[in-house]
Amino acid sequence: MLQLPVEDMEPAPGHAVEWAVSSAGTAGRAEGSDPGALASYNQKDHFSVAQSLRAADIGYSSYIGGSFEIRGRVDLDALEAALLHFVRRHDVLRCDFGEPGAGAGTGTGEGAGTVEGADGPVLRVVPPQDVKLERVDVGRLDTPAETRAYVLRFLQGTDTLRGPWIVMGALLRDDSATVYFACDHLLADGVSTPVAVRDIAEAYEAYAQGREPVLPPADGFLGYATAERHRGAAMGPDDALLDHWKGFVARNGGELFPRFPLDLGIEPGVVYRAVNEADALLPADRLDAMEAHCRAVGGRVSTGVLAALGVSLRREGGPDVHRALLPVSTRDRGPGAHSMGWFVNTLPVEFRVADETDFAGVMAGAQSALDAMRPYAEAPFVRVFDLLTCDQDGPQVWPYAVSFFSYLDFRTTPGADRHEELKARKYVSTSHSNGIFFWFHRNDTGLHLNSIFVDTPQARRTKTALVGTLVRSLDSIARTGRF
């Protein structure tokens, strides 16, 4: 799987079909809906950010999507059955989200009923048997330009506050089809895309062959979210789970967020249109060589990439201590590994990248920082923010550009053995930003980077220069075992 800007998607022309998720018409609270379901902390924060930006008349959108290819003439009924199976299988895809004190959203077409909960969006959870799909035949798209414009517009159709929260479609041809989908970030994290591709592709093949799909068990996200909220509510300002954060804040000048250290040409508190770019960093053979050098000093590829980023920032004028926020997966290796949802916490790391520190020393510091943060993964970031800042409204929009690092090895995700065959792609799209975000990812072809950053001339220059320095650092590790 490859993570790309959705703007880089180039689907071949075909006959376009859309599917909208709706409920079967249950009035009031859906029978079987869980009245105790709570949105997760990440969902609460994401919803609040969308509310804040919408109030400022900023049309913010943020989704995670994907696409894959089907070979041969497509059985349309089997594909529709597979998409319905997918939505019914995962409870987070069957939720309506509404603002507190209002009815739930209209993403399933009914807008009926709410589930009372704590702060954050209220949920209406539609039972699987009440979910249906409504097919829309868009018609033939004849040119690449027309097709691309249509698909980009379609995938931008999610809305955090009002729904829909998931859109699904396909381009049908005589000898193939492209299937694509987008989930508002409320519903999905980075691993959710390979989960979705695997689920839909395997269910389609089963239905096309006249049998029921057989997929690994998948936990519901709502149970995870509710348990997380209860766990966070039990935390107090003296909880030991805050110790890692308190130490980090003390060494970070009293600030909870580590600042991105290079000039992006932005004003504090201003939100900008975002740019989305992809870069190939190392081919597979060079990455294998880099991995050998990382393991020789007790680290992993992910550690080496983090260390190389810190060193590269230092060479571009950054500090001699690298600080960053890392999204950390909270999925387990059981049913949670096969679930749609936002199974992510955020934790800080810091390590020295001073000029005199050699490769082994930086790697040791980076690995130690990663190891030190892991015991604190049970402390939800949004709750940490509440407790350490006495601000019960959550972080909202970050006050300045934040140093951010994400790494994912797609070779270990569900369905990875078929990613190349399916031409699987992942898309992370955010309309606005006030900083720069790096998603590093590995697949069978090597190491790649997807970046989203503010659309300013200085940010473009800074990002281009930093990536050039980073590529040289990574290549040097692969060739020599040094930065």
pLDDT of residue 394: 52
The closest alpha carbon to 404, from 256, 300, 258, belongs to: 258
Query: Domain for residue 172, yes or no?
Result: yes
pLDDT of residue 104: 47
Query: Domain for residue 228, yes or no?
Result: no
Question: Which of 223, 251, 282 delimits the end of a domain?
Answer: 223
214 and 261 assigned to the same domain: no
191 and 243 assigned to the same domain: no
95 and 169 assigned to the same domain: yes
134 and 275 assigned to the same domain: no
pLDDT of residue 336: 86
108 and 26 assigned to the same domain: yes
Report the helix count and the strand count for the chain, using DSSP H and E.
12, 16
Residue-wise over 237-269: b if at least 16 C-beta within 10 A, else e?
eeeebbebbeebbeebeeebbbbbbbebebeee
Residue-wise over 68-79: b if at least 16 C-beta within 10 A, else e?
bbbeeebbeebb
pLDDT tens digits, one per residue of 117-156: 457 788 899 999 999 999 999 999 999 999 999 999 999 9
Position of tokens 């490859």? Answer: 2
Q: Which domain holds residue 289?
A: 235-480
pTM: 0.93
CB of 304 within 8 A of CB of 473? no
| 178-219-165-18 Cα dihedral, nearest 10 degrees | 30
- The CATH number of residue 144's host domain is 3.30.559.10
**H/E element, 206:** helix 192-208
DSSP H helices in 26-143: 41-55, 76-89
d(CA 455, CA 433): 9
Question: Which of 223, 248, 283 delimits the end of a domain?
Answer: 223
- The CATH number of residue 315's host domain is 3.30.559.30
280 and 302 assigned to the same domain: yes
Query: Domain for residue 431, yes or no?
Result: yes
Question: Which of 169, 195, 223 delimits the end of a domain?
Answer: 223
d(CA 197, CA 44): 26
d(CA 387, CA 43): 18
Query: Domain for residue 229, yes or no?
Result: no
Q: In degrees rounded to 5, what are phi and psi of residue 369?
A: -65, -40
pLDDT of residue 102: 53
Q: In degrees rounded to 5, what are phi and psi of residue 69?
A: -110, 145
pLDDT of residue 395: 54
Sign of the C-alpha dihedral, residues 187, 54, 67, 166?
A: positive
208 and 270 assigned to the same domain: no
pLDDT of residue 118: 54
218 and 240 assigned to the same domain: no
From its phi and psi, is residue 387 left (phi > 0), alpha (psi between -120 and 50) or beta?
Answer: alpha
Query: Domain for residue 230, yes or no?
Result: no
CB of 274 within 8 A of CB of 459? no
Position of tokens 């949670």? Answer: 336
213 and 332 assigned to the same domain: no
pLDDT tens digits, one per residue of 55-105: 999 989 999 999 999 999 999 999 999 999 999 999 999 999 987 755 444
CB of 343 within 8 A of CB of 330? yes
Query: Domain for residue 315, yes or no?
Result: yes
317 and 292 assigned to the same domain: yes
d(CA 317, CA 295): 28
180 and 303 assigned to the same domain: no
- Name the token pair of 116: 């009372």
Query: Domain for residue 383, yes or no?
Result: yes
Low-confidence ranges of the chain (pLDDT < 70): 24-36, 101-118, 333, 391-397
341 and 375 assigned to the same domain: yes
pLDDT of residue 110: 37
CB of 247 within 8 A of CB of 388? no
| 95-99-104-109 Cα dihedral, nearest 10 degrees | -80
Q: Which segments within 260-397 are labelled E, that is strand?
A: 272-283, 321-329, 344-352
The closest alpha carbon to 349, from 400, 312, 386, 403, belongs to: 403
In the chain, how many domains are there?
2
Query: Domain for residue 203, yes or no?
Result: yes
pLDDT of residue 398: 76
pLDDT of residue 36: 65
